[in-house]
């Protein structure tokens, strides 16, 4: 009798633990306070806005990084994301609407060292690659299966002497629809 009770108790504890873990993992899927919603409150699509440590894309934020994020849609055409300037380090990431990282790169992995990304659907990229316009010669092409996404750019702020350059780099970043 005690053995059966022990098994039942153990099974109940393990079952409860699995249910709790599943609920915790599913919370971001069902919440309406996701990163997309928070960015929508701050600005229009195709505009970069500053993000901080409390934002989903800056969680566990490094105090030596500054970040901006832009919501965009490729349903009516491609999106061109670019920024130029001299900063110690920049990184860029493309996320889909649900926050899944689709592509990441940094200043060391691009052909020119400049931030120049074209986000499009796979069929749009195929058409574009047939005859690449000169303005996209050094662009990195990112295929996005879903219609909406988020671009996040981070720049390193090694010390206060870099503050103006990092601010200028992030302030002039563009997220332009190519319709």
| Joined tokens for residue 170 | 């992030």
The pLDDT of residue 109: 87
The pLDDT of residue 150: 95
CA R_g for the chain? 21
117 shares its domain with 89? yes
The pLDDT of residue 53: 59
79 shares its domain with 18? no
The tokens 């989903």 sit on which residue?
56
The pLDDT of residue 30: 63
Total domains present in the chain: 2
- As a whole number of angstroms, the distance between CA 141 and CA 120 comes to 7
> Residue 73 sits in a domain of what CATH number?
2.60.40.1610
48 shares its domain with 80? yes
47 shares its domain with 8? no
132 shares its domain with 171? yes
**Which domain covers residue 23, as residue numbers?**
1-30
55 shares its domain with 74? yes
Longest dimension (CA), the chain: 79
The pLDDT of residue 117: 94
Q: Of 83, 67, 50, which Cα lies nearest the Cα of 156?
A: 67
Q: Phi, psi (5° rounding) for residue 56?
A: -60, -35
On whether the CB atoms of residues 150 and 71 are closer than 8 A, the answer is yes
The tokens 């659907």 sit on which residue?
121
75 shares its domain with 138? yes
Regarding beta strands 140-143 and 115-120, do their DSSP bridges make them parallel or antiparallel, or are they unpaired? parallel
The pLDDT of residue 6: 84
Q: Of 69, 48, 65, 95, which Cα lies nearest the Cα of 156?
A: 65
152 shares its domain with 132? yes
83 shares its domain with 146? yes
| Percent of residues in the chain assigned helix, strand, coil, to nearest 5 | 35, 30, 35
93 shares its domain with 19? no
Per-residue pLDDT tens digits of the chain, which is 179 residues long: 788 888 888 888 888 888 888 877 777 666 666 777 788 888 899 999 998 755 655 555 677 889 999 999 999 899 999 999 889 999 999 999 888 999 999 988 887 778 999 999 999 999 988 888 888 888 899 999 988 999 999 999 888 888 899 999 999 999 999 87
- As a whole number of angstroms, the distance between CA 57 and CA 82 comes to 19
Q: Of 111, 85, 95, which Cα lies nearest the Cα of 152?
A: 95
């Amino acid at each position: 009798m005690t053995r059966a009770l022990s098994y039942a108790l153990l099974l109940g504890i393990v079952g409860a633990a699995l249910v709790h873990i599943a609920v915790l993992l599913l919370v971001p899927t069902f919440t309406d306070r996701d990163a997309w919603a928070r960015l929508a409150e701050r600005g229009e699509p195709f505009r970069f806005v500053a993000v901080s440590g409390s934002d989903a894309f800056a969680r566990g934020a490094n105090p030596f990084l500054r970040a901006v994020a832009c919501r965009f849609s490729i349903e009516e055409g491609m999106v061109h994301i670019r920024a130029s300037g001299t900063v110690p380090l920049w990184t860029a990431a493309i996320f889909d609407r649900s926050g899944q990282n689709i592509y990441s790169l940094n200043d060391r992995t691009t052909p020119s060292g400049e931030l120049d990304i074209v986000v499009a659907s796979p069929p749009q990229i195929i058409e574009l690659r047939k005859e690449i316009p000169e303005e996209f010669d050094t662009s990195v092409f990112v295929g996005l299966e879903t219609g909406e996404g988020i671009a996040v750019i981070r720049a390193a702020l090694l010390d206060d002497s870099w503050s103006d350059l990092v601010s200028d780099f992030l302030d002039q970043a563009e997220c332009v629809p190519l319709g």
